[in-house]
Structure 1
């Protein structure tokens, strides 16, 4: 689960632990997970046909919804 060029690196175990905490509305875990995906969010936001700010907001909201989605 470690990613090259990610702002933060983490093991698969740590990622899954943060994900389980995020499902319980742990804001610190959600922020760490969003930071993990930050570079991807910024890169992908350039290819969405809307303002970059709106694209980033939409992706962050989508990720938070996925993080909180029950198994």
Structure 2
């Protein structure tokens, strides 16, 4: 069983800055945003009726697409 680390916290300002950088294809910003959502992705993947790794990969890909989407 995976050990849970402390949840990642960030201010709304920091989140919006990372999101802005992610829209510009900043890999480090995207990785930080994915780390922020990691616990949610893992928790939700348990309820999707498919292979857990496929569910995690699908959610991660969709988040990256959302991060890069223009307003």
Q: TM-score, normalised by structure 1?
A: 0.91
Judging changes above 3 Å, is the alpha-carbon distance between structure 1 residues 42 and 62 closer, same or farther for their aligned structure 2 residues?
same
Measured in 2, the distance between the counterparts of 1:6 and 1:62 equals 24
Aligned residues: 67
1:1-35 Cα shifts (integer Å, max 9, x gaps) = xxxx9631100000000000000000000000000
Deviations 1:21-68 (A, max 9, x none): 000000000000000000000000000010000000000000000000
CA pair 38-6 structure 1, distance change in 2 beyond 3 A = farther
Question: In the alignment, which residue of structure 2 is the partner of 1:27?
Answer: 27
Instruction: Could you tell me which runs of 5 or more consecutive residues in structure 2 were left unpaired when the two chains were aligned.
Output: none
RMSD, matched Cα? 1.3
Question: Which aligned segments of 4 or more residues in structure 1 are displaced greater than 4 angstroms?
Answer: none
